[in-house]
Amino acid sequence: MLLLLALGITLCVVAWGYLVYAAIDFGSEARHDNDSQAWAYLGVAAVGAVACLFLGFMLVARFSRAMGLTQAPAPKPKRDPAAPKGGKRAAR
């Protein structure tokens, strides 16, 4: 499991780097030639880079949980049914 998570993180980082490089290239081409197709490719590459970075961060979180570096949050205590619902404002 750890090996698959590490491989996924690596692939996401490599894909992110490639997409950032492609977005920079498309952006310079779009500004130089004022090409609308290059602007569209720039947008697609930028959205793809954001998605890869987000997925990479999610995999890092799962990796750290699997390694035992982090743990799940403590469960919220059940609400007392006798207590009034709402906060101070609702109790007025």
Could you state, in chain order, the average pLDDT of each consecutive group of 10 residues for the chain (92 residues)?
94 96 91 85 95 96 90 83 71 62
Distance of alpha carbon 4 from alpha carbon 28, whole angstroms? 36
Query: Is 76 part of a structural domain of the chain?
Result: no
The pTM assigned to this predicted structure is 0.72
The pLDDT value given to residue 80: 76
Radius of gyration of the chain (CA): 23
Query: Is 89 part of a structural domain of the chain?
Result: no
Count of domains in the chain?
Answer: 1
- Domain of residue 34 covers 2-67
Query: Is 82 part of a structural domain of the chain?
Result: no
Query: Is 47 part of a structural domain of the chain?
Result: yes
Query: Is 32 part of a structural domain of the chain?
Result: yes
The pLDDT value given to residue 30: 86
Contact 8, 62 (CB under 8 A): no
